[in-house]
A and B are shown apart, each in its own frame.
Chain A
Amino acid sequence: MRLDVSGLASGYETLEVVRDVDLTVGESEWVALVGAVGAGKTAVMGAIAGSLPVRRGRVALDGVDVTALPAHERVRRGLTLVPEGRRLFAGMTVGENLAAGASRVRGREAKSRVERVLELFPVLAERRRQQVGTLSGGEQQMCAVGRALMTGPSLLLIDELSLGLAPVVLDGLLDALVNVRAEGTSLLVVDQDVETLLTYADRAYVLRSGGIVMSGIASSLLADASFAREYLGVP
């Protein structure tokens, strides 16, 4: 699915955090959104997903304007966000959390989606009847991504994929996302681990103080000296 964002402005209460953001994600493309802490990445993701009000600008899915739609309607059209901090339903089991993602589809379809998620994240199969609070950080992130995949997204947004995860766990998640993308789902991912993210992504946008300041092919950004200095910690 194709996402077009143009002239987007958004923020919290009286504070405008991002403005004039233009970005696109193409059909089964993997796009990264990078920037320092406080640059407004979460606000951009929230505004696209519908959890944060859009003040100006337009969000369109496959050319259809969804700016005025509530979050759950955007999910129905194929756009799902894994929010920062995962936001799992704390008192519920892994199975119930996954089921919450498929509350709109019939039993048989839900079942096949669960099977697909457990195939991607086999460890969740063992934890299915456990409360999500008892999971490790990596398992929680898998559960959050799995729950989002239960909605059957054509465009998956992930805010802070690697936060607090061990490298080996992150590799597992990235491999799963490669599979998801191979099936035709587009990805827009925010992460602090810019170097790893850019080796997987096709393209990237750089956000600074609420506006896009740079964009391009991921591999050429990695090779760009000024980008490397600022975002990869290279002297």
Chain B
Amino acid sequence: MVYVQVLINGLLLGGLYACMAIGFSVIWGVMSIINLAHGSMIIMGAYITYWIWRDYGIDPFATIPVSGAALFCFGFFLQKYLLNRIVATSVFLSLIFTFGLDMVLTNVHLELFQADLRAVHTGYATSSLVIGSLFVPYARLAVFGTAIALTLFLMVLMNRTRIGNAIKATSFDVEAAELVGINTKQVYSITFAIGAMMAGIAGSLVATVHQFSPFGSVAFTTKSFVVVILGGLGSIPGAIAGGLVLAVAEAYTAYWQPGYAELVSFGLLLAVLVVRRRGLFGKRFYAEL
């Protein structure tokens, strides 16, 4: 029975992992930017939720539109005025630039919120759905549901809307997209904005069920890495699958041998990279490198 409980815990966390990774995946898939500040953007979303909850007593789930909108704007202007200047130059310029940004954001978070671990405490944090001897905490279930719903929403956005179509076209062939009238710089700004928005929302969800501090950003970024590589770059269903696989693998490893969870996740990443570069979901969705 305990194995089932571990599986449940893993799956519930996996939804959150998927949501954390999806923005990272879209930005990488469409623009070939590995956004090392992704973790900091998640933390930014988490602090927005924490701050609204602490000062105004508003439920963390209700703060999602605020963190989403704030990060959307942040991402849009960041891409429009800075990243558009270096996108498509070389593999590691954007990597280093976003690492610098991560340092800056971490410092800003430290200055505003100090280094302490923070958490949002809700009235329903400790209540669970009980099925026999199994526990499904309501808060985690709600986070899981929200994360999966938002991830699916993004899939609809990509496949059913004009802007989604323009984003896909741009990721396949920037020059051809320009030639059919798509303002590709604008598309890049919107893509980064959407990716940042997803990070912000994931941050709000993190704040609801976990503790966090400014120094958590690197861990969030590396988790996103692993999920994206496992699932396949730019694939939204892949991100969900990758998130679930990683979280379940971590949960079982942690149960078996606590210290080895990270080793297993990075070992998994290495194995997938070397054996099957396109990830578990091997189809091309956005651009290939």
Contact = CB atoms under 8 A, between A and B. Distances in A.
Contacts, number: 79
10 contacts: A51-B178, A80-B181, A92-B169, A92-B172, A100-B165, A100-B182, A103-B163, A103-B180, A104-B181, A148-B179
Interface of B: 162-163, 165-166, 168-169, 172-173, 175-184, 284-286
What is the interface residue range for chain A against chain B?
Answer: 20 to 34
A108 B163 CA distance: 16
Contacts of A147: 180
10 closest residue pairs by CB, A with B? A75-B181, A87-B176, A71-B178, A100-B169, A89-B172, A103-B166, A101-B180, A72-B183, A151-B181, A89-B169
Interface of A: 49-51, 70-72, 75-76, 80-81, 83, 87-92, 96-97, 99-101, 103-104, 147-148, 150-151
Contact of B172 (A50, A72, A75, A90): A90
B166 to A, nearest CB: 4
Contacts of A90: 172-173
Nearest to B184: A72
Contact of B179 (A49, A96, A99, A103): A49
Secondary structure at chain B's binding surface: helix, strand, loop or mixed?
Answer: helix
Contacts of B285: 91
A83 B176 contact: yes
A143 B184 CA distance: 21
Max chain A C-beta neighbours (<10 A), residue from B168, B169, B180: B180
A156 to B, nearest CB: 12
A6 B168 CA distance: 36
A100 B179 contact: no
